[in-house]
């Protein structure tokens, strides 16, 4: 079964009197174990596509299936559950909770989903080690570089054992070196079987993925 | 999410924006402190009045000569002969008998009061002397004896002295059996009264002796069949109001006066006390209302801070929602935060308020002309009320911002740029 399946998805926002067609009949499948990059210039609808994949938004028309389940049929509570447990998000910036230190940030999703205290600590330490930041556990986001913050965000996204890691321009705010480190972690995770969907407008970044989907004008460029 | 984890997350926000948190809390502190201080002062005032008027006893009615139209509580409170219309008019035997006939009257005591020169242990002073009917005085006295005995029939050179006169007036305290010269006559102290704390009656600084003796020693002239006041004890305290009216009526007809020419005044202290306490109650309620306004301002401060932090944290709310936090959890996160403001502000406010209340007596502010120092009474009830109230206010003022945050759609929240 595909993890994600978009079937002829339309998303129309009405901004006052103007209607914005963000997605125009997008169809896309994400298979387990894939490392997929969605590319496109700004305004191509890639962020809207990410919101759909992340169950943060529901289509105006068409179907969006998460593990075969139509998300339009789910209520807010069920959506919250999917978002929290099945999908790990990494955003472009302001990813971390500023009032919590690195390890507390990694623990946050597990605390939201009420994991046991022992598991919370074991897992968070393990994940910080995985992204190479064991030594920064007590640092606050303001005390870390952009690359470090992004790696903490990845560790956090992985904490609930999601099926899918969803990254929106994860290297957008990083210099080349830090960006490379982040992408290395993605490759490493993917080789361990984690499905990664990454949104980017940068060719070099996209090249790290196994498959690239190019979007233009709300649909896949042919 | 567990409540403890939500609480710790809220706390991390409060600690992070320390300056703003403190400023918000200061708003609550001012509100709570003023409410606590004012309620305590109000209660102190109430007790003060109760205690001062309490010395009279609930079933005692006093008739004094002279009449002036009381325009308010204040003038009625200061009813004494020096203010009354005429000092030459006194009450007579006849009045005494008329009063005695009124149904519901248990005892009647005709008093002869005045000033007299006193000499004790080579010290000289002027004291107020009250001549009493020895047969009923002991039955009507509400102050009680500290030591010794009451006056009894046949006493001619015996006196009973007030507590403060005995203990605070002379270098050498007055004790039982000490000789005292009053108005040129020698007396022996047979009793000392307890401290009444009451005002107006002056029992703490007065001297009591049989009325026929008092007529000789006081500087005022009071002839044999006259009294300067008549004190009545009602058979039942609940009758006082009715009895007061009845006595007034009967005295008017016997003295052949109408309400316009009335030349005496009937005072029921229990009624005055009720009136006074309703005045102080109204007053403290009014002051509390003013204090509540500052608490309201504090609440608005919390709401403002909460709205600002919801705005600032839009992106974080989106993050929490993307991580799987539900509306309830976001709601609780903000409510706990505003509750913390209320609680911390409440605790510090209570401490400040209590301190202010405790300092009040040392400021020596006179309490509204009641003749006593202002003081405050802090009760645990007040403290818990203030604490509970400030927490509730904190939470209430957080509700609208919290709901605003909870209902944000994650997509919108995440897109929000700071």
- Residue B339 CA to residue B379 CA, distance in Å, equals 24
- pLDDT, tens digit, for every residue of B376-404? 788 888 888 888 888 998 898 889 889 98
- HSE of B243 in the Cβ direction (CA atoms, 13 Å)? 32
Closest CA to B232 of B128, B111, B83, B130: B111
User: Which residues in chain B are contacts of A81 at CB distance < 8 A?
Assistant: 324
Domain count within chain A: 1
- Please check whether residues B111 and B28 belong to one and the same domain: no
3-state secondary structure B332-368: HHHHHHHHHHHHHHHHHHHHHHHHHHHHHHHHCCECC
Smallest Cβ–Cβ distance between B322 and the set A56, A100, A113 belongs to A56
Is residue B83 domain-resident? no
- Please check whether residues B110 and B47 belong to one and the same domain: no
Kindly state the average pLDDT of the residues B66-78.
51
The answer to whether B12 contacts A114, with C-beta atoms less than 8 Å apart, is no
Question: What is the enclosing helix (H) or strand (E) of B251?
Answer: helix B240-254
Tokens 């103007």 belong to which residue? A18
Would the pLDDT of B374 be above 80? no
- Provide the CATH number for the domain around residue A165: 3.40.50.300
Interstrand relation of A164-168 and A195-200 (parallel, antiparallel or unpaired): parallel
Three-state DSSP class for residue A98: coil
- Please check whether residues B217 and B279 belong to one and the same domain: no
pLDDT at B80 (0 to 100) = 44
- Please check whether residues B284 and B405 belong to one and the same domain: yes
Three-state DSSP class for residue B313: coil
- Please check whether residues B280 and B173 belong to one and the same domain: no
Residue B123's domain spans which residues? 106-227
- Please check whether residues B401 and B293 belong to one and the same domain: yes
Question: What is the enclosing helix (H) or strand (E) of A179?
Answer: helix A176-191
Distance from CA of B312 to the nearest CA of A (A): 11
- Please check whether residues B281 and B411 belong to one and the same domain: yes
What tokens does A88 get? 């790990």
Residues of B with CB under 8 A from a CB of A: 1-2, 5, 9, 12-13, 15-16, 315-316, 319-327, 329, 409-411, 414, 418
Is residue A22 domain-resident? no
Smallest Cβ–Cβ distance between B418 and the set A77, A94, A95 belongs to A94
Domain count within chain B: 2
Is residue B144 domain-resident? yes
Would the pLDDT of B332 be above 60? yes
The answer to whether B411 contacts A85, with C-beta atoms less than 8 Å apart, is no
How far is the CA of B313 from the CAs of B306, B374, B402, in angstroms?
10, 49, 11
Expressed in angstroms, the distance from the first to the final Cα of chain B is 27
Give Dmax over CA atoms of chain A in angstroms.
Answer: 53
- pLDDT, tens digit, for every residue of A7-50? 999 999 887 888 888 899 999 999 999 999 999 888 888 888 98
Would the pLDDT of B344 be above 60? yes
Is residue B186 domain-resident? yes
- pLDDT, tens digit, for every residue of B47-65? 777 776 655 677 888 888 8
Chain B interface test: which of A60, A79, A97, A163 (most B C-beta within 10 Å): A97
Would the pLDDT of A90 be above 60? yes
Average pLDDT, chain B: 83
Please give the torsion angle defined by the CA atoms of residues A191, A192, A194 and A196, in that order, rounded to the nearest 10 degrees. -20
Does the CB of A169 have a partner CB in chain B at under 8 Å? no
- Residue A48 CA to residue A4 CA, distance in Å, equals 15
Residue A132's domain spans which residues? 33-57+80-220
Closest CA to B317 of B303, B333, B301: B333
Would the pLDDT of B180 be above 50? yes
Would the pLDDT of B74 be above 50? no
How far is the CA of A207 from the CAs of A36, A37, A191, B275, in angstroms?
10, 8, 16, 90
- Please check whether residues B29 and B115 belong to one and the same domain: no
Tell which wins on pLDDT, B32 or B58. Answer: B32
User: Which residues in chain A are contacts of B5 at CB distance < 8 A?
Assistant: 111-112
Is residue A104 domain-resident? yes
pLDDT at B53 (0 to 100) = 66
Which residue, B187, B204, B227, sits at the end of a domain?
Answer: B227
- pLDDT, tens digit, for every residue of A156-170? 999 998 989 999 888
B171 pLDDT band, cuts 50/70/90, is confident
Average pLDDT, chain A: 90
The answer to whether B320 contacts A112, with C-beta atoms less than 8 Å apart, is yes
Residue A84 has a CB neighbour count (10 Å cut-off) of 24
- Residue B307 CA to residue B301 CA, distance in Å, equals 10
- Residue B306 CA to residue B300 CA, distance in Å, equals 10
Is residue A142 domain-resident? yes
Which residue, B165, B199, B227, sits at the end of a domain?
Answer: B227
Which residue, B227, B246, B264, sits at the end of a domain?
Answer: B227
Is residue A24 domain-resident? no
Tell which wins on pLDDT, B341 or B272. Answer: B341
């Amino acid at each position: 079964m595909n993890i994600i399946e978009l079937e002829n998805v339309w998303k129309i926002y009405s901004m006052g009197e103007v209607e914005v067609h963000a997605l125009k009949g997008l169809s896309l499948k994400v298979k387990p174990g894939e490392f997929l990059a969605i590319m496109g210039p700004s305004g191509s609808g890639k962020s809207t596509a990410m919101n759909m994949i992340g169950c943060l938004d529901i289509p105006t028309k068409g179907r969006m299936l998460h593990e075969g389940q139509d998300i339009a049929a789910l209520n807010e509570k069920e959506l919250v559950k999917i978002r929290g447990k099945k999908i790990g998000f990494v955003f472009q910036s302001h990813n971390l909770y500023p009032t919590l230190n690195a390890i507390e940030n990694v623990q946050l999703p597990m605390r939201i989903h009420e994991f046991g205290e022992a598991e919370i600590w074991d897992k968070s330490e393990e994940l910080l080690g995985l992204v190479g930041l064991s030594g920064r556990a007590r640092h606050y986001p303001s005390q870390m570089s952009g690359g470090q913050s992004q790696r903490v965000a990845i560790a956090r996204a992985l904490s609930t054992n999601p099926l899918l890691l969803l990254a929106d321009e994860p290297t957008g705010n990083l210099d080349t070196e830090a960006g490379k480190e982040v992408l290395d972690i993605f490759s490493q995770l993917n080789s361990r079987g984690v499905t990664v969907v990454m949104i980017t407008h940068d060719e070099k970044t996209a090249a790290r993925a196994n498959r690239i989907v190019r979007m233009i004008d709300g649909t896949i460029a042919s | 999410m567990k409540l403890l984890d939500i609480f710790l997350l809220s706390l991390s926000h409060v600690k992070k924006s320390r300056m703003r948190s403190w400023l918000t809390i200061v708003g609550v502190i001012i509100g709570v402190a003023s409410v606590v201080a004012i309620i305590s002062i109000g209660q102190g005032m109430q007790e003060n009045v109760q205690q001062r008027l309490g010395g009279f006893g609930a079933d005692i009615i006093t008739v004094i000569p002279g009449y002036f139209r009381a325009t308010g509580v204040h003038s009625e409170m200061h009813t004494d002969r020096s203010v009354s219309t005429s000092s030459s008019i006194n009450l007579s035997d006849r009045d005494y008998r008329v009063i005695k006939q009124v149904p519901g009257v248990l005892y009647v005591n005709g008093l002869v009061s005045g000033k007299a020169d006193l000499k004790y242990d080579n010290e000289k002073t002027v004291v107020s002397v009250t001549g009493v009917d020895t047969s009923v005085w002991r039955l009507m006295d509400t102050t009680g004896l500290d030591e010794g005995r009451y006056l009894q029939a046949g006493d001619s050179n015996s006196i009973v002295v007030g507590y403060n006169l005995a203990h605070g007036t002379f270098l050498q305290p007055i004790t039982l059996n000490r000789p005292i010269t009053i108005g040129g006559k020698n007396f022996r102290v047979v009793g000392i009264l307890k401290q009444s704390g009451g005002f107006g009656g002056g029992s703490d600084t007065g001297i009591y002796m049989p009325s026929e003796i008092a007529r000789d020693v006081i500087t005022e002239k009071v002839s044999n069949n006259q009294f300067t006041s008549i004190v009545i004890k009602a058979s039942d305290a609940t009758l006082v109001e009715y009895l007061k009216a009845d006595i007034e009526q009967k005295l008017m007809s016997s003295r052949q006066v109408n309400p316009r020419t009335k030349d005496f005044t009937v005072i029921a202290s229990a009624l005055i006390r009720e009136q006074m306490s309703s005045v102080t109650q109204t007053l403290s309620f009014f002051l509390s209302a003013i204090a509540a306004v500052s608490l309201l301002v504090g609440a608005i401060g919390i709401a403002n801070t909460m709205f600002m932090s919801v705005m600032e944290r839009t992106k974080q709310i989106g993050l929490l929602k993307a991580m799987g936090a539900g509306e309830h959890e976001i709601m609780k996160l903000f409510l706990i935060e505003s509750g913390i403001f209320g609680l911390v502000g409440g605790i510090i406010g209570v401490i400040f308020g209590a301190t202010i209340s405790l300092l009040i007596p040392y400021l020596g502010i006179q309490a509204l002309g009641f003749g006593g120092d202002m003081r405050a009474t802090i009760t645990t009830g007040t403290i818990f009320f203030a604490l509970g109230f400030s927490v509730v206010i904190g939470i209430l003022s957080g509700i609208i911002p919290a709901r605003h945050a909870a209902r944000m759609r994650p997509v919108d929240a995440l897109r929000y740029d700071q």
